[in-house]
Amino acid sequence: MAELFLQELGPQFVSRPTTEDVGYDLLIGFLNKKGGINTFAVQVKSTERPPGTRFRVPRRTFDRVAHSNIPGLLLVADVKHNRMNYAWLTSGQLAGSVSVSVPLIELNDETKDELQAELVAAHVGVATAG
């Protein structure tokens, strides 16, 4: 579900890591307006109920993605209701000792367009390597 959603956004590539413990599920790249490639690490989580406005991510997973030099995107798939939410994983978010609560944005036509615009922006305004 998440990979199909990302394919709809028109990336230059979607790839999977060659090892399991890199902290992300997919690596995606989008051609930006200046001719470069914006690359993002994507962590995918699934649930069978609507996640609400916040989602808890295990601290180790959060740290691996949020403290990287590649912007991290969390996709939460509500598989029962066929809905998706997303969040940027940045080092400025409040972290607990076991998990980190991140604010989610529900994906609809409007927020999908906004996310796509962020992914192809020449200057991605997402904090990294914190």
The topology under which CATH files domain 2-120 is Trna Endonuclease; Chain: A, domain 1 (3.40.1350)
Q: Whole-prediction pTM value?
A: 0.87
Tell me the average pLDDT across 107-128: 80
pLDDT band at 129 (very low <50, low <70, confident <90, very high): very low
What is the SS3 assignment for 107?
coil
| Cα 118 from Cα 82, distance rounded (Å) | 23
The structural domains of the chain, with segments of one domain joined by +, span 2-120
Q: What is the pLDDT of residue 20?
A: 79
Report yes or no: 43 and 89 within 8 Å, Cβ to Cβ: yes
Residue type, 4: L
Tokens of 14: 């979607």
